[in-house]
Structure 1
Amino acid sequence: MTNNEYDVIVVGARCAGSPTAMLLAKKGFRVLVVDRATFPSDTVSTHMIHAPGIAALQRWGLRDAVQASGCPAIERYSFDFGPITIAGRPRAVEGISAGFAPRRMVLDQILVDGADRAGAEVREGFSVEEFVIEDGVVVGIRGHGKDGVTVTERARIVIGADGRNSRLAKTVAPLQYSESPRLQCSYYTYWRDLPTDGFETVIRPYRGWAAIPTNDDLTMVVVGCPVAEMDAFRSDLEANYLKTFDLAPEFADRIAAATRVDRFAGAAVANYFRKPYGPGWALVGDAGYNKDSITAKGISDAFLDAERCAAALANHFDGGVAYDDAMAQYQRDRDTNALPIYEFTLQLATLEPPPLEMQQMLGAVAGNQDAEDDFVSITAGTVSPVEFFDPANIGRIMQAAA
C-alpha cells in the first residue's frame, strides 16, 4: 500500500469496528480494518442483541447467519422482583421484536466476514504500536502483523473501535463527560440442561442475575453485585456466584440440576461519554460511549453507532459536509438516543431496592399486559424510558390498576 491509499482505517474488528468498515466499504470507500485478535475468538460480553440490533443485522444481510448458527430467538423478557414478576414481549421495530444472544466467537466471525465481503481489507493478528500524528492530525497507524515486520499505513480518517480501553482514545485524550464510576461487577459462565423462557432477569436487593439462551443449547447466566463488594465476591467466585441463587429457590433448584461447562468471566466497567471525533480521528462503540452491562445494550448500541458514524463520514467524503459539522451531528444523534437509557441503566446498576414510589408503579404494571410489554421494551430498546416514565403514561397505568 502507498501512503494515503485508504480513506479510513478502523482499529478493532468486533461489534463496532467490522460493521463500520463494512458500511463504509459498501459505499465504495477504501477501508482497512485491523485487530490484534484472530477470528473466531471470544471476548467478555453480555451476548444479548436486542431487537434494534437485530434490525440492523437484517438491514446488513447478516441476520440469517446469526439465526443459522443455532442461536435461539429470544421472544420473551421477564423481570422477577420477588413480590411481583413483569414479563412480556418487546414492542417491534421494523417488524422485529425478538432478540438473539450469540457467543462472541460466532457473532464476531459473522461481522468480520461481512466486512471482508463488502470489500474492506481485514488484517487479523495485527498489533497497532502507535498512531501517526502530523501537525496535530491523526493520519495513520504504525504496527506489525504476524510476521513482526513494522509497517505504516495512512488514511484520511482513523477510527477507534477498540473498546473502553481504546488506545486511540488514550492517545487523543477526548473530552469525557456524564461520567459515573463503576457501580456493579458481573460474572458469567455457561450451563447445559438449564431451560430458560427467553431473557430471564431476577432482581433482589444488592444482587441480580440474568439467564439467556445462547449457541449449542447452552444458557449464559450472569450474576451481579455492587462494586463495593467485588473483592469479597471474587475471593471465592464460584461459591458466591452459586450462593446468590438462594435468593430465588425455584431458580436455585433449576441451576442445581444443570451442568457448568465453562470458566467464569466478567468485569466492572466505568460509565462515560467521550467526544467521538477530532482532527483525523473518530470513535465508535465502547471507545466513545460505555455504560454498565446490566441492560445488556452494548452490542445493539455498537451496531447503531456504526451506522451513524459511517453515514456521517459518507456525508463528509461524498456529500460535501464539513468534517466537524458531519461528526458533530453524529455526536448529537448518539447522545440524544443514548442518554435516556444510560441514566436508566445507572439507576438499575446500583442494585439498590427500588424506592416505595417505584415499587407502587411496578405493582401497577404487573398484570397489565400492555404495560408489561412496554416495560420490558425499555431494556429491549424499542420504548424509550422517557416515553414510558412520562407522567401521563404512569398516570394511565396507575389509574388502570386502581
Structure 2
Amino acid sequence: MKELLAQRVKSLTPSSTLAITAKANELKAQGINVIGLGAGEPDFNTPQNILDAAADSMNKGFTKYTPSGGLPALKDAIINKLKRDNNLSYSRNEVIVGNGAKHILYTLFQVILNEGDEVIIPIPYWVSYPEQVKLAGGVPVYVESTSEQNYKINAEQLRNAVTDKTKAVIINSPSNPSGMVYSKEELTEIAKVAVEKDLLIISDEIYEKLLYNGLTHFSIAEISEEIKARTIVVNGVAKSHSMTGWRIGYAAGDSTIINSMTDLASHSTSNPTTTSQYATMEAYNGPQDSVEEMRQAFESRLEIIYPKLNAIPGFKVIKPQGAFYLLPDVSEAAEKTGYTSVDEFATALLTEANVAVIPGSGFGVPNVIRLSYATSLELLEEAVTRIDNFVKSKWQN
C-alpha cells in the first residue's frame, strides 16, 4: 500500500494544550477530582444579549450560506469596532471573517507563504504558530526572550534574526502564554525594523480586552499609515466576549491578502457559521458591560492567586499584565522534587496532585508551566494548595 499520510502532517506536533485538557477530562470521567488549569477559555457563559441575538437570527430563518468572507453587516460591525477601540480605519474589502482567530491565522499563512519563506516567532509562543507556518511550507525562526526581558523580544533581536528569506514577524500582545504586553514604545521600535527589512507584521490581538493595572491596548497598526499598510490585525470575540465555541475571528489589512484569504475560504469552509456571525454582530454592536465585568473578575483572581503561587517553593513567577495565564519558572521545583524535566513534573501534578497544567515545552520554554486562571477563585485556591502540598511533600534538600 502507498504511504497514507502526507509529509507535512507527519511532522506536526499535537497541541499540548488540547492534549492535557483531553487527559484531564479522561481522568474526570473516571471519577477523579481533577482541577483543570489548562484550557484557554473564559469560564463565563456567553452574555445573554448575544445568546438572544443568535436565537432571534435562527427564528427569523437566517440559517443559510453567507458570503465566504463574512456577512457585510458583520464586517461593518468589525470596522466600527476597530475605529472605536483602536482608531483604525478599514473598508469591507480589507476585512475577512473566519472560523475563529486560529483558522484566520492558518488561512493567512497559506496565502502569504511560499516554500522556504521564514516567519519570525518570539519565544514563548502560542503552540499553533510554528505548526501553521510549517503546514504552509514556511520555516519558523525563533527569537528567544527571557524572564529578565519580561518575555518580550526587542528590535535589535528582530533585526538580527532577519534573512533574505524572512517574510513576516508575529507579535502577540497581550501574549499567550506569558500575559505580557508590548508598550507603544517597544512596538514603535519593532515597527521601524519591519519597515527597514520590508516585513509583514502579523499582530495577534485576541486578548486585547484583558489588560490589568490600568493598562490600555495599543495596536502596532496604530503607529502610522505606513505600518498599518504592512500589518495584518488578527482578533475575534472568543476571549473578550466568552465566545470560544462560536468560532468567529477576523483579520483586517491589505486588501490583496484579505481577498486571497477569502478566495481560499470559499474552497475550504464556504463561510463562517451563520448563527455565530449574527451573535458576533450583537457582541460588537450591543452593550459592552459584560466585557468589563469579566475583565475585572480575571484581574481580581490574578491579584489573589499570583502571590500564593509565587510563594510555592521553587516557583518564580512574573506578574502578567494581560490575558489570563501565569507562567511560573518551576525548574527548581522540578529538580528538588526529583523530576528530570518540567514535563515530568507537570505529568506528576496531573496524575498525583490532580491538577492539570500545560508544560512550557509546547511554548518553546521548557522550564515553565502555564496555568490558566480562567476558572473560579475557589478552584484556583484549591489548585494552588494542591500544588504547594505536592511540592513540599516531595522536596529534597
TM over 0.5: no
TM range (shorter): 0.3 to 0.5
Name the one with the larger strand percent: 1
